[in-house]
């Protein structure tokens, strides 16, 4: 079992190692495997990168993310400018139904609404928008509208897990209730948990994933 002091240092080292993050203003605390990130960064993309870096560290059970986005004065953008650029970048995505998505921006916070056919489209919309300069946060309220039978969803997820060379599928239980997927069981590392969750979201018709997987060290 990794102690809190060592875990805190490991997370700090990982943040320093990640080239897309300026870790100088990020604080880290650890308590029984729960890591709290505080401080500030200069973009929403950097905030997301800090959380991903912390998740990669062995021994991290959960993350409390309290990092603020503070934009330098020379990169602040008017809300109408951010909205126009968000609409444009969504239109540029191949195969994305941009005509079904609405964009609202208030004080740098972008809210996306509408519906898409696949979960990856919802994820991609958030990812491309949060990279725009001037964006402080993204509220993704896009719905996944594709219907599918629960049994079909469960079968597709199980097959995806079995194909993965990085996950021990026998330790993962998959339950479905309509478009809701419930994952339970044990995995060996946080990245395996992420892989299982991505596999669940990738199945057509999935509208919610409840991840109850635990990490067994």
pLDDT tens-place string over residues 150-163: 778 888 888 888 88
To the nearest 10°, the Cα dihedral for 3, 5, 11, 14? -100
User: Is the confidence at residue 54, as pLDDT, over 80?
Assistant: yes
**Same domain membership, residue 128 and residue 83:** yes
Q: Tell me if 47 sits within 8 A of 28, measured CB to CB.
A: no
Q: Tell me if 94 sits within 8 A of 54, measured CB to CB.
A: no
Structural domains of the chain, count: 3
Domain range for 11 is 4-69
Compute the residue count for the chain: 217
Give the tens place of pLDDT for each residue, 87-124. Answer: 999 999 877 888 999 999 998 899 999 998 888 889 88
**Single pTM value for the model:** 0.56
Pairing type for strands 109-116 and 68-69 reads: unpaired
**Same domain membership, residue 130 and residue 106:** yes
**Same domain membership, residue 139 and residue 77:** yes
Average pLDDT over residues 22-41: 92
pLDDT computed for residue 178 by the predictor: 78
pLDDT > 90 fraction of the chain, expressed in percent and rounded = 34
**Same domain membership, residue 138 and residue 78:** yes
**Could you give the CA distance from residue 174 to residue 100 in angstroms, rounded to a whole number?**
31
Q: Tell me if 175 sits within 8 A of 209, measured CB to CB.
A: no
Compute how many other C-beta atoms are within 10 angstroms of the C-beta atom of residue 52. Answer: 14
pLDDT computed for residue 147 by the predictor: 61
**Same domain membership, residue 58 and residue 115:** no
In this prediction, residue 126 has a pLDDT band, given cuts at 50, 70 and 90, of very high
């Amino acid at each position: 079992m990794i102690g809190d002091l060592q875990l805190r240092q490991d997370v700090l080292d990982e943040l320093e190692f990640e080239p897309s993050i300026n870790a100088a203003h990020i604080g880290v605390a650890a308590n029984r495997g729960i890591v709290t990130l505080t401080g500030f960064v200069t973009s929403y993309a950097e905030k997301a990168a800090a959380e991903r870096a912390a998740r990669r560290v062995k021994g991290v059970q959960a993350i409390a993310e309290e990092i603020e986005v503070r934009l330098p004065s020379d990169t602040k953008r008017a809300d109408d400018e951010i909205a126009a650029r968000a609409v444009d970048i969504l239109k540029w995505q191949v195969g994305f139904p941009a005509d079904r998505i609405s964009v609202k921006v208030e004080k740098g916070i972008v809210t996306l609404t509408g519906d898409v056919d696949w979960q990856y489209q919802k994820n991609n919309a958030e990812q491309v928008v949060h990279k725009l300069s001037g964006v402080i946060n993204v509220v993704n309220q896009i719905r996944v509208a594709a219907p599918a039978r629960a049994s079909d969803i469960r079968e597709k997820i199980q097959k995806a897990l079995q194909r993965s060379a990085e996950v021990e599928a026998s330790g993962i239980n998959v339950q479905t209730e309509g478009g809701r997927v419930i994952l339970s069981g044990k995995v060996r590392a946080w990245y395996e948990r992420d892989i299982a969750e991505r596999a669940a979201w990738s199945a057509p018709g999935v509208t919610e994933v409840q991840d109850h997987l635990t990490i067994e060290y």
